[in-house]
């Protein structure tokens, strides 16, 4: 297929990971414990109930706090990106990456989150990572908060529900923006900000057995994140006018289960709730639908005078989002069977196959998502997560023929090309989990997204050696031809 004219020059091809799933080194160089360090690996799991695995109770957190080793807590050891970043970045350079999306571990910089001074060793580590990327001409795309925060802020402040956390985050953001000015051009404030509603511990540091009004607490938490994000955006522009700041949404596109008007309305409503977050961060205000939704669900948001102004003034430059799967909504969901999904399960769509983890495979949905977001906002869009979680089976010689992953990427990238032809301004594409990492939802290692294999099993055994899968060479060629050869 020749489509060299489809992807614009300067299209940001790359890959993505997150600190809590890759770095390890949970207690190295003064790092404090984080919310993700509290999530144990459980061998028995229900893939339609991810929340119970991602969100530990107070009791489990107390047990985890007393557990002074990484064993049994995969996000504490990750894949040792902390120690092996040079080797890994060399592989990204070999892939021809234009950009690499990563996150900074907040508790590496402010171990408890509320110190006045940052931890110099933590700052130095990211200096080295950015310098290494720079050596190969790879532009860092950096998320300030990706599913982790200092556990102290969750335990002592109640997480993002507490307005005081805004100031602590802004101090953290200003520290990063100042230190890395000139080194980092693209910043994202919060990964999948809507996760704070769907999975409030992971997204917002809320310990749910302490919350008597969970939905209200979650919306209060995300409101504080909106303000923090806007203030960080303001600071970014003041510190370095060349930076570009984006929001990040887990795009949960919903289809109606049938063409009945009631089902269509149910799907529209789910889409409105999903896009509420981008409405705030891009348009600068809550959408009209929020008023009735909050009233009917007893969500009494506490807003301070000046909040609306802050949101209106400091909107983002671009929208980044993850897309893995599509969902289905119905007026009466009880009539349907369910399947797994990114962050929550959904009605099974009879038109779509599913992955080994039950997520619908729907490349066309990515084009739909791109088109509907661009119609709504007309700001540049960046797909910063998309990929296939699958079990890989190394051959006797160690090679991995992951044609299923190539197929997944090829189909999704094709749809991005179609969206570009539809007139959508797409900045780039970073494949999720370019190197195998610990799964966010299940803490498994065997749910692999990488084009680079990491020899490590679910219990943490293995050499940690890296090797190239078949998809590695395939993607390298996609990048070299700017998407002309898929």
Q: Of 3 and 439, which has the nearer Cβ to ligand BG6?
A: 439
Shortest separation between residue 324's beta carbon and ligand BG6, angstroms? 6
Answer for which of 278, 315, 322, 325 binds ligand BG6 (CB under 6 A) is 322
Q: Of 258 and 356, which has the nearer Cβ to ligand BG6?
A: 356
Q: Is 199 in the site for ligand BG6 (CB under 6 A)?
A: no
Shortest separation between residue 339's beta carbon and ligand BG6, angstroms? 14
Q: Of 3 and 194, which has the nearer Cβ to ligand BG6?
A: 194
Q: Which residues between 121 and 150 bind ligand BG6 (CB under 6 A)?
A: 147
Number of shown-chain residues binding ligand BG6 (CB under 6 A)? 16
Q: Is 191 in the site for ligand BG6 (CB under 6 A)?
A: yes
Closest CA to 451 of 116, 94, 169: 94
**Cα torsion through 291, 229, 150, 320, rounded to 10:** 90
Segment interacting with ligand BG6 (CB under 6 A) among 216-224, 268-276, 415-423, 438-446 = 438-446
As a whole number of angstroms, the distance between CA 75 and CA 68 comes to 14
Q: Is 385 a known active-site residue?
A: yes
As a whole number of angstroms, the distance between CA 470 and CA 452 comes to 9
Q: Is 440 in the site for ligand BG6 (CB under 6 A)?
A: yes
Answer for which of 441, 456, 471, 482 binds ligand BG6 (CB under 6 A) is 441
Neighbours of 296 (CB within 10 A): 8
Shortest separation between residue 116's beta carbon and ligand BG6, angstroms? 30
Shortest separation between residue 343's beta carbon and ligand BG6, angstroms? 6
Answer for which of 385, 402, 418, 436 binds ligand BG6 (CB under 6 A) is 385
Query: 23, 385, 418, 444: which is the annotated catalytic residue?
Result: 385
Per the CB < 8 A criterion, the answer to whether 202 and 55 are in contact is yes
Q: Is 436 in the site for ligand BG6 (CB under 6 A)?
A: no
Angle between helices 403-421 and 470-480 (to 10 degrees): 20
Select the residue whose beta carbon is closest to ligand BG6 and give its number: 441
Shortest separation between residue 79's beta carbon and ligand BG6, angstroms? 13
Segment interacting with ligand BG6 (CB under 6 A) among 180-188, 369-377, 436-444, 464-472 = 436-444
Q: Of 233 and 442, which has the nearer Cβ to ligand BG6?
A: 442
Shortest separation between residue 54's beta carbon and ligand BG6, angstroms? 8
Q: Is 439 in the site for ligand BG6 (CB under 6 A)?
A: yes
- The dihedral through the CA atoms of 112, 114, 116, 122 has a sign that is positive
Phi and psi of 449, rounded to 5°? -110, -10
Q: Is 19 in the site for ligand BG6 (CB under 6 A)?
A: no
The number of helices, as runs of H, and strands, as runs of E, in the chain is 18, 14
Segment interacting with ligand BG6 (CB under 6 A) among 40-48, 265-273, 363-371, 432-440 = 432-440
As a whole number of angstroms, the distance between CA 75 and CA 35 comes to 10
As a whole number of angstroms, the distance between CA 149 and CA 201 comes to 10
Q: Is 190 in the site for ligand BG6 (CB under 6 A)?
A: no
Per the CB < 8 A criterion, the answer to whether 242 and 317 are in contact is no
Segment interacting with ligand BG6 (CB under 6 A) among 310-318, 405-413, 434-442, 460-468 = 434-442
Answer for which of 96, 389, 417, 460 binds ligand BG6 (CB under 6 A) is 389
Q: Is 482 in the site for ligand BG6 (CB under 6 A)?
A: no
Which residues lie below 8 Å from residue 259, measured CB to CB, with a gap of 6+?
Answer: none
Per the CB < 8 A criterion, the answer to whether 450 and 470 are in contact is no
**Cα torsion through 70, 73, 79, 84, rounded to 10:** -30
Q: What angle do CA 134, 141, 171 make, to 5 degrees?
A: 105
Per the CB < 8 A criterion, the answer to whether 322 and 246 are in contact is no
* Three state DSSP letters for 269-338: HHHHHHHHHHHHHHHCCCCCHHHHHHHHCCCCCCCCCCHHHHHHHCCCCEEEEECCCCEEECCCHHHCCE
Q: Is 23 in the site for ligand BG6 (CB under 6 A)?
A: no
Length of the chain: 486
The token pair that represents 6 in the structure block: 């489809």
Answer for which of 374, 432, 472, 474 binds ligand BG6 (CB under 6 A) is 432
Residues near ligand BG6 (CB under 6 A) are 18, 21, 147, 191-192, 250, 322, 342, 385, 389, 432, 439-442, 447
Q: Which residues are catalytic?
A: 385
């Amino acid at each position: 297929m020749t489509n060299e004219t489809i992807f614009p020059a300067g299209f940001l091809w790359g890959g993505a990971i997150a600190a809590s799933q890759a770095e390890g080194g949970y207690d190295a160089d003064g790092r404090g414990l984080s919310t993700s360090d509290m999530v144990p690996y459980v061998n028995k799991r229900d893939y339609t109930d991810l929340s119970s695995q991602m969100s530990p109770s107070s009791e489990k957190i107390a047990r985890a706090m007393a557990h002074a080793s990484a064993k049994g807590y995969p996000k504490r050891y990750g894949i040792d990106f902390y120690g092996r970043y040079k080797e890994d970045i060399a592989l990204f350079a070999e892939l021809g990456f234009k950009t690499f999306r990563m996150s900074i571990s907040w508790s590496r910089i402010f171990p408890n989150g509320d110190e006045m001074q940052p931890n110099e060793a933590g700052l130095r580590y990211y200096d080295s990572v950015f310098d290494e990327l720079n050596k190969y001409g790879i532009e860092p795309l950096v998320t300030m908060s990706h599913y982790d925060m200092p556990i102290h802020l969750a335990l002592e402040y109640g997480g993002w529900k507490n307005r005081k956390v805004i100031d602590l985050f802004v101090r953290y953001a200003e520290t990063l923006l100042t230190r890395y000015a000139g080194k980092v051009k693209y910043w994202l404030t919060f990964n999948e900000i809507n996760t704070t509603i769907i999975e409030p511990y992971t997204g917002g540091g809320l310990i749910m057995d302490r919350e008597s009004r969970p939905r209200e607490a979650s919306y209060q938490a995300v409101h504080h994140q909106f303000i923090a994000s806007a203030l960080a955006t303001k600071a970014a522009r003041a510190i370095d006018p060349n930076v570009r700041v984006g929001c990040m949404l887990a795009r949960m596109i919903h289809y109606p289960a049938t063409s009945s008007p009631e089902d269509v309305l149910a799907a529209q409503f789910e889409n409105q709730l999903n896009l509420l977050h981008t409405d705030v961060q891009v348009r600068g205000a809550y959408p009209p639908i929020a008023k009735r939704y909050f009233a009917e669900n007893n969500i009494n948001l506490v807003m301070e005078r000046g909040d609306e102004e802050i949101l209106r003034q400091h909107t983002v430059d671009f929208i980044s989002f993850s897309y893995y799967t599509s969902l289905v909504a119905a007026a009466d969901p009880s009539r349907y069977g369910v399947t797994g999904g990114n962050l929550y399960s959904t009605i099974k769509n009879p038109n779509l196959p599913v992955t080994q983890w039950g997520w619908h495979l729907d490349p066309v949905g990515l084009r739909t998502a791109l088109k509907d977001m661009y119609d709504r906002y007309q700001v540049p869009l960046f797909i910063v997560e998309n990929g296939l979680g699958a079990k890989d089976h190394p051959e006797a010689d160690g090679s991995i023929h992951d044609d299923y992953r190539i197929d997944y990427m090829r189909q999704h990238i094709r749809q991005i090309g179609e969206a570009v032809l539809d007139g959508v301004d797409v900045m780039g594409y970073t494949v999720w989990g370019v190197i195998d990492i610990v799964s966010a939802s299940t803490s498994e290692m065997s749910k692999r997204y990488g084009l680079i294999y990491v020899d490590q099993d679910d219990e943490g055994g293995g050499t940690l050696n890296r090797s190239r899968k078949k998809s590695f060479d395939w993607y390298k060629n996609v990048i070299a031809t700017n998407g002309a050869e898929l």
